[in-house]
Structure 1
Amino acid sequence: MRNEKIPVVAVFDVGKTNKKLFLFDMDYRVVFERSARFTETIDEDGDPCENIDSLRLSVFDSLSEVFNNPKFELRAINFASYGASLVYIDENGKPLTPLYNYLKVYPEHLKREFYMKYGGEEAFAVKTASPVLGSLNSGMQLYRLKKERPSLFEDVHSILHLPQYLSFLLTGKAYTEKTSLGCHTNLWDFQKQDYHDWVSVEGISEKLAPVVPANHVSPAIFPGKQYEVGVGLHDSSSALIPYLISFREPFVLLSTGTWCISLNPFNQAALTVNELTNDVLCYMQYEGKQVKASRLFSGYAYEQQTKRLAKHFGVDILMFREVVYSPHVIAKLTQKGEEFSIDAPAALKFEDKPLQQYNDVNEAYHDLMLDLVRQQFIATGLVLKGSNVNRIFVDGGFSKNSVFMHLLAEAFPDQEVYAAHMPQATAIGAALAIHNSWNEKPMPNDIISLKLYTPAKTKF
């Protein structure tokens, strides 16, 4: 008897560092995985940037490998990638510029000119739900291109966000999708739910591709059997999709990695000036609704400080994966049982504390985590405010950290705090967005496993 091929959806999960391809079966189990890293190239100013040629070739090479694998029947493809990155293509679909890095320094004179012309930083940021972030506001990259290289800008036929460019490679269809559009771009006016006026004033709107919903698919033109291609999604918004499908009661998702992002899809209140100054912004979920979000650079801080601890105490950095939460150590650190308020600012951030003051590495590590959770309490509290949420789901690296999770439960005693485990949430979200285009089975409701953390009985 001949073995039947496994029907699969392919998802390219394109991060800044790692580029991954996953194949999921109809129950959303990973049946194939491939990972790649590319050496960065430089733009015309000598600044580092993504090698878009390597990325394009990797997509084609990976698909050829899948087509040649007799185990799989490829039914659909989708993409999820980091945001704030634009590809400018000519009428033949060829990129006209490098894929500029969103950390590229933005010219101060252009920033001043732009915000003076369009109502000032504060008022503009409130409308677009985008803190002033320089090149991280991808619309500012557009403005810069038009001002600094006007003749090249004239040759631009379509402006595509990175996920939609990857989709374009396989379909030849140029589209815009709202999760990318709503990712602190300075392009979208959240108050009127349309492009901000500056987009048409500057003559940019005619170069922007038509907006389509997140579940939009197009037939592929890449050689191979017939299959559908999704339009691609912004990665943080894609990671939210499995939770929105699985849970109907309001929640906040704390997505942890290099950045720890608190995402509240149930907070529809307009951004305030105070929130914007505290790095709160809005994303857009796959159904087009606002997602209020706050960001912390906690994963990066954790990495730097654990290196510092390992060096000072002469331990292997891998030991920190095994540290078990000790309420007694926390009690000692928080003034030995005296009343402790998580929102009280610490006198010093952990990075500024001398390590000689700690008795051992375990005590120092607990104080590092206490400092990170203090900051997280404030950041997550900003998006919780004004919404009827009583559950916090934590995914990513810190969800596996015993000390972080116990402290977070202590910090939010009125919330149910869960560690959520779902491998490859971003990629699964992109697959779920086009579920009806390739999968006859009903949407799954058991792909996320949860572990509840409750406040310790030990009083701080």
Structure 2
Amino acid sequence: MTADATVVLDIGKTNVKLSLLDRAGAVLDERRMANAVLHDAPYPHYDTDRMWHWMLDAMRAFAGMAQVDAIVPVTHGATAALVDDAGLVLPVLDYEFEPPASQSDYRALRPGYEATRSPLLPAGLNLGRQLVWLAQSHPAEFQRARHILMYPQYWAWRLSGMAASEVTSLGCHTDLWQPARKQYSSLVGRMGWSALFPPLRDAWAVLGEIKPELAEQTGLPPQCKIICGIHDSNASLLRHIQTAADRQPLSVLSTGTWVIAAAIGMPLDGLREEADMLANSNALGQPVACMRFMGGREFAELAGPDAVVCSVADLQRLIEQGTMALPCFSAAGGPFAGRAGSTTGPAPQSPQERYALATLYCVLMSDHCLTALGAAGAVVVEGSYTGNPHFGPLLAALRPRQTIFCSDDTAGTTCGGWMLHHWGERPVGANTLCAPADLRGWDEYRKRWLALV
């Protein structure tokens, strides 16, 4: 059996993945399931029970393949769990739910943008708004809570029984954290929540060993360590923090349901709230200038359910005939929040052309975010877009003064989770240089798109 293996639990907004990695960071096995949202009472919430039982079944299978030394939770942001000693006191709220309480009421409570670098966002994307609404609409249950746990730490708590807080999830447009000062915001004290947040721990900290009953149930070793865990886009940044320290600046495009442009080392004073720009906190607690849009969701909307990878000829045809998509195709914020998406020019006629339109749109949106951030130096593309053969070359053609790389790791989150267990070590793998695409009229197409948006 493989020794010193790591299990990474990666909960994205769309899918949940459990990966078994060996000592070098290579994937030995992988299991996936859809991240379902239940729409029954008391409000839309994640099916944490189903995830839990699926996860334990998968870990039982992994225990027969390798000697698992550690489990690392990695999750999407804007999510927290309210727990007492027995478990959840309320279901884990889906951040796409729009709380009935008005934004104007919450606006009066939230700290200023200059303090948190957290823009006012729709639905529950500001975690502070979720918590205020839960406290007001379910006061009895909220008062029972012993801890407010960020989502990665909720799963670590279920596995180990140890409660912790961690900066990457706290610093992810929550209104709860001040990235520059590295401390809680005024909202936490104003609402009387200070005692509900457990002590801060590093993302790579070992919280404890797996609960004995879970070790027995899964067959995992009783000494299996439970790592504190991390916010998913910050997991993708881990392998680049040292690179950025050696060669400032560096930008990372973390792609999945969300596309997050992170400009490591760039100043925060250029961030603008109205453009949905924000500062995340990386695993070291350092603020990172970011901008994002729901690129995975928008790509799927434009490409359709029968998407087929396009050819260069398909891209060239759409560019020449002026077919373009204008933002936006998701209601979840982004630099053009509040606009209804539309297309101009002749409509795509095939699944390949729809894929081409989605590709062109997502490249232009990513390019816009990088420009708004003032991103300089190399850009590394990670995550789902690395599976698109045209994304990197199209972006490279628009940004000739920067070097564009595509990571060979299609899930930077999994690599980042492995690194938390092997802190200070370099994972296997490399980045591939993207040669600029040679398409007639591509730069003029971008200029027309920018003029229209």
Using a 3 Å threshold, how does the CA distance of structure 1 residues 305 and 146 change in structure 2: closer, same or farther?
A: closer
Specify the alignment match of 2:373 in structure 1: 383
Rounded to whole Å, the distance in 2 between the matches of 1:330 and 1:244 is 38
2: CA distance, partners of 1:305 / 1:37: 21
Query: Of the candidates 292, 296, 305, which is equivalent to residue 293 of structure 2?
Result: 296
Counterpart residue type for residue 193 of structure 1: K
Equivalent residue number for residue 20 of structure 1: 17
**Residues 232-270 of structure 1: CA deviation (Å, up to 9, x unaligned):** 111111111123356642311112233221111222324
Superposed displacement of residue 108, structure 1: 4.1
How high is the sequence identity, in percent, across the aligned residues? 24
Q: 1:179 to 1:330 in 2, by over 3 A?
A: same
Residues 145 and 27 (structure 1), Cα distance of their counterparts in 2 relative to 1, 3 Å cut: same
Amino acid at match of 1:35: R
Residues 1:236 and 1:84: Cα distance change in structure 2 (over 3 Å):
same
Question: Which of 51, 54, 60 is matched with 1:58 structurally?
Answer: 54
Q: Which amino acid aligns with 2:366?
A: Q
Equivalence map 1:22-421=2 (5 Å)? 22-37=19-34, 39-45=36-42, 47-67=43-63, 69=64, 71-90=65-84, 92-109=85-102, 111-118=103-110, 124-133=112-121, 134-223=123-212, 224=215, 225=221, 226-245=223-242, 248-249=246-247, 250-270=249-269, 272=271, 275-307=272-304, 317-318=307-308, 321-324=309-312, 329=317, 332-333=320-321, 351-355=342-346, 369-385=359-375, 389-421=376-408
* Aligned residue among 430, 438, 443 for 1:448: 430
**Structure 1 pair 325/176, CA: closer, same or farther in 2 (3 Å)?**
farther
Relative to the length of structure 2, the TM-score reads: 0.83
Question: 1:397, CA displacement in angstroms?
Answer: 3.2
1:325, 1:406 within 8 Å by CA — same for their partners in 2?
Answer: no
For 2:302, the aligned partner's letter is Q
Residue 431 of structure 2 aligns to which amino acid in structure 1?
Answer: S
Q: Which residue does 2:331 correspond to in 1?
A: none
Q: CA deviation at 1:401?
A: 3.0
The separation in 1 between residues aligned to 2:19 and 2:173, in whole angstroms, is 27
Q: CA deviation at 1:141?
A: 1.4
When the two chains are superposed, the root-mean-square deviation of aligned CA atoms in Å is: 3.0
Larger Cα-atom Rg: 1
- Decide whether the 8 Å contact of 1:126 with 1:271 is kept in 2: no
Q: 1:380 to 1:325 in 2, by over 3 A?
A: farther
Tell whether the 8 Å contact from 1:329 to 1:366 is kept in structure 2 after alignment.
no
Q: Which one-letter code corresponds to 1:115 in the other structure?
A: R
Q: In structure 1, what is the equivalent of residue 412 of structure 2?
A: 425
| C-alpha distance 113-355 of structure 1, shift in aligned 2 (>3 A) | same
Shift of 1:39: 4.6
Q: State the SS of the aligned residue for 1:21.
A: strand
Structure 2: which amino acid aligns with 1:146?
A: A
Between the aligned partners of 1:405 and 1:325, the Cα distance in structure 2 is: 17
Question: Unaligned 5+ residue runs, structure 1?
Answer: 311-315, 336-344, 437-441
Give the direction of change, closer, same or farther, for the CA distance of 1:458–1:37 in structure 2 (3 Å limit). closer
Letter in 2 for 1:303: A
Partner of 1:313: none
For residues 148-184 of structure 1, give each alpha carbon's deviation from its aligned partner in whole angstroms, at most 9, with x where no partner exists: 2222222111110111010001211100011111111
Equivalent residues, number: 417
How far apart in 1 are the matches of 2:79 and 2:354? Answer: 39
Shift of 1:142: 1.4
Q: Tell me the distance in 1 between the aligned counterparts of 2:104 and 2:286.
A: 31
- Taking the aligned partners of 2:130 and 2:355, their CA distance within structure 1 comes to 40
Query: Which amino acid counterpart does residue 13 of structure 1 have in structure 2?
Result: D
Give a deviation string over 1:306-331, Cα, whole Å, max 9, x none.
23xx9xxxxx632xx14126886577
Provide the rounded CA distance (Å) in 1 between the counterparts of 2:354 and 2:41. 45
Q: Which amino acid aligns with 1:20?
A: K
Q: Deviations over 1:122-143 (max 9, x none)?
A: xx12321111124111121111
Report how far residue 104 of structure 1 moved. 0.9
CA contact (8 A) 2:148 2:197 kept: yes
Q: Any idea what SS the aligned residue of 2:163 has?
A: coil
Alignment TM-score, normalising by the size of structure 1: 0.82
CA distance in 2, matches of 1:322, 1:220: 48
Deviation (angstroms), 1:444: 2.6
